[in-house]
Structure 1
Amino acid sequence: MAITVTPIILLTLALGLGIAGYGGYDYVQQTDAVNNPVAVETAVVETELSRSEGRRFYYRVRVEHTYEYQGDEYTSNQIFPGSTKPIYTVRDDAAQILEPYEPNTTTTAYVAPDSPSRGFLKRQTTFAPFKFIGLGGFITVLTTLHAIGARNAGQNTGIGQTSKQETSHHNTVFGVERNTLCRGSKRLLLVTPIGFLISLASVVALLLNSSTTTVQVRLTDPVGFALLTAVLSILGFIVGLILYGSWSFTEYRRLRERMPDQRPPSPFRPPSRLITILYTRDGLDAYGRRVKLTGFVFTVIGFLVGVIGFVLVTAG
Structure 2
Amino acid sequence: MQINGPTSRIGIALTLLIGLASMGYGAYSYTTQSAALDSTVEVTATVTDTSVERNSGRRSVSYVPQVTFQYRYEGEQYASSNVYPGTLGKDFDTEAAARDVLEPYEPGETTTAYVPTDDPGDAFLEHERSNKPFLLIGVGVLFVLSAAYSAIRN
- 1:131-186 CA-to-partner distances (Å, cap 9, x unmatched) read 3112211111111111112x3xxxxxxxxxxxxxxxxxxxxxxxxxxxxxxxxxxx
Deviation at 1:5, TM superposition (A): 8.3
Partner of 1:281: none
- CA shift, 1:91, in A, is 2.6
Q: 1:107 aligns with which of 111, 125, 131?
A: 111
What are the equivalent positions in structure 2 for 1:1-316 lying under 5 Å apart?
6-53=9-56, 56-149=60-153, 151=154
The residue identity in structure 1 corresponding to 2:88 is T
Structure 1 pair 51–28 and aligned structure 2 pair: CA distance change class (3 A): same
- What letter matches 1:59 in structure 2? Y
1: CA distance between counterparts of 2:31 and 2:121?
18
How far apart are 1:56 and its partner, in Å? 3.0
The letter for the 1-side match of 2:62 is Y
Q: More strand per residue: 1 or 2?
A: 2
| 8 Å CA contact 2:15, 2:146 repeated in 1 | no
Task: Using structure 1 for the length normalisation, give the TM-score.
Answer: 0.44
1:255-287 deviation per Cα after TM superposition (whole angstroms, max 9, x unaligned): xxxxxxxxxxxxxxxxxxxxxxxxxxxxxxxxx
Higher relative contact order, structure no. (Cα contacts within 8 Å, ≥ 6 residues apart): 2
What is the rounded CA distance, in whole Å, between the counterparts of 2:147 and 2:21 in structure 1?
14
Number of residue equivalences: 147
Provide the TM-score with structure 2 as the length reference. Answer: 0.86
Q: After TM superposition, where is structure 1 displaced by more than 6 Å over at least 4 residues in a row?
A: none
- Partner SS for 1:108: strand
Q: Give the Cα separation in 2 of the matches to 1:25 and 1:5.
A: 30
Q: Following the alignment from structure 1 to structure 2, what is the Cα–Cα distance between the partners of residues 14 and 116? A: 34
More helix by share: 1
Distance 2:36 2:124 in 1: 9
> 5+ unaligned residues in a row in structure 1: which ranges?
152-316
Partner of 1:64: helix, strand, or coil? Answer: strand
Identity of aligned residues (%): 37
